[in-house]
Amino acid sequence: MSLDHRLSSEHEELRRTVQEFAHDVVAPKIGDFYERHEFPYEIVREMGRMGLFGLPFPEEYGGMGGDYLALGLALEELARVDSSVAITLEAGVSLGAMPVFRFGTEEQRREWLPKMCSGEMLGAFGLTEPECGSDAGGTRTTARLDEATDEWVINGTKCFITNSGTDITGLVTVTAVTGRDENGKPRISSIIVPSGTPGFTVAAPYSKVGWNASDTRELSFSDVRVPAANLLGEEGRGYAQFLRILDEGRIAISALATGLAQGCVDESVSYAKAREAFGRPIGANQAIQFKIADMEMRAHTARIAWRDAASRLLHGEPFKKEAALAKLYSSEIAVTNAREATQIHGGYGFMNEYPVARMWRDSKILEIGEGTSEVQRMLIARELGL
């Protein structure tokens, strides 16, 4: 397959629109939200009005009729300025709304997607558990079907769940063990749990190293009852469904990581031109020039990787390996670029008023969330037949 790296006029227009929004609206405000550890409802509402939460969904469900490339472009441009806003969009679309779109019934789609596409409501993805982490197959949350009431009864705990406790969170899709197969292995299913359901408790926000203007919480379920019709997809197929969702989500995270890496370049170029030492701008020093050139090389290569994976997805081709490659590479170079940008800024890079300090704090989670770097290497090796 050949990859045309040129964007269509529609995609380029979207990219420029989000770029302007990020610089004109997000950049001047997000630092204060970040330092207060406060969710930026005003910015999220504006993103909803722009249609960003509906980018890859059909118009019949309130979406924009776009595709995953469009979502990636928006995420990259937002993350060039701030990752908290970008991850709110990524999780709201890839993890909140996409499972309903991919696996929901027509009734479920029409009930939930329009509000999520408009940004009026956020959805969350309840997969990770305190004692499972990367071993999602070791899920301990359970759901039994009470045939007398035709309801699922859910018990368990989920952790590190993004967008799960905001004032506009409407649902969490939860993975739970709903039985055992003939070999005794757990059958994992996906179930929609609306916010406010009795027994569904949302903990206080975590105190995090980064992503401080995004919402991340622990969830607990104590005899939570939801209608049997809230089953998402087939019973026992939840694990396979979420593996597909994670494959797609890795493309989105890669785009976000690429944006952070490019934002480090942007800030470093600007600082190197303005900052003087020993009578001249530090950008005149070859040591600084080479650092920034290497940073640009990494960001450029990461962009090619995530767009390649997105192109394969859009053309209906296998993309699991390419998504893992893109996620692994882009997340690791985001950490490298953030470290180098901080070094270029010197003492100012250690001050939270400078965006690179925020980028440094935000970068590390990219090597962990939606599949650690170690998991990506396992997936790549497996796809190579090892």
Active site residues: 370
Measured CA to CA, the distance from residue 267 to residue 337 in angstroms comes to: 11
Query: Burial of 146 by CB count in 10 Å (0-12 exposed, 13-18 middle, 19+ buried)?
Result: exposed
Task: State how beta strands 122-126 and 169-180 pair.
Answer: parallel
Q: Which amino acid is at 173?
A: T
User: Does an H or E element contain 224, and which?
Assistant: strand 216-227
Measured CA to CA, the distance from residue 53 to residue 63 in angstroms comes to: 8
Q: What is the DSSP letter of 134?
A: T
Distance of CA 367 to the CA centre of its chain: 12
CB contact at 8 A, 140 and 180: no
CB atoms within 10 A of CB 350: 12
Q: Torsions phi, psi of 82, nearest 5?
A: -160, 135
- Per the listing, tokens 């100012």 go with 348
Q: 23-28 long-range contacts, Cβ below 8 Å, gap at least 24?
A: 23/81, 26/78, 26/81, 26/82, 26/85, 27/81, 27/82, 27/355
The CA-atom distances, in angstroms, between 316 and each of 1, 55, 319 are 12, 18, 9
